[in-house]
């Protein structure tokens, strides 16, 4: 998963297609918990969306602007606009993350179809 290291890179990454940002930090135990299976999850969803990682500590002002206070957090974008979030205080499981990503794909496809009508 490519890491976003600047606000400019973040703005560029969310600009086109369907993008999911994973906000995390090195010191976060729940972030470390999901690390081992995230490459497989990312690969499974590659045909439908692009995933990036944002280190909360490196881009703290951006996280504050986006109201990302708990980590890990996921925010999904379609053509630069936020369409969904997955934020909770509880540790996220692989199943929960995959369910969220499936919903992102469904919502994105519905929005695409709606915009063509």
Any idea which residues carry the catalytic annotation? 28, 31
Distance of alpha carbon 112 from alpha carbon 62, whole angstroms: 28
Half-sphere CA count of 5, side-chain side, radius 13 A: 2
| CA angle at 67 for the pair 66 and 69, rounded to the nearest 5° | 125
């Amino acid at each position: 998963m490519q890491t976003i290291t600047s606000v400019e890179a973040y703005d560029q990454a969310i600009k086109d297609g369907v993008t999911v940002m994973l906000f995390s930090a090195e010191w976060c135990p729940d972030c470390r918990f999901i690390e081992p299976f995230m490459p497989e999850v990312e690969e499974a969803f590659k045909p439908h969306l692009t995933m990036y990682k944002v280190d909360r500590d490196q881009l703290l002002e951006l996280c504050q602007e986006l109201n990302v206070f708990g980590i890990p957090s996921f925010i999904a974008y379609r053509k630069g606009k936020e369409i969904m979030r997955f934020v909770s205080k509880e540790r996220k499981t692989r199943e929960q993350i995959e369910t969220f990503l499936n919903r992102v794909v469904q919502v994105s496809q519905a929005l695409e179809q709606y915009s063509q009508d």
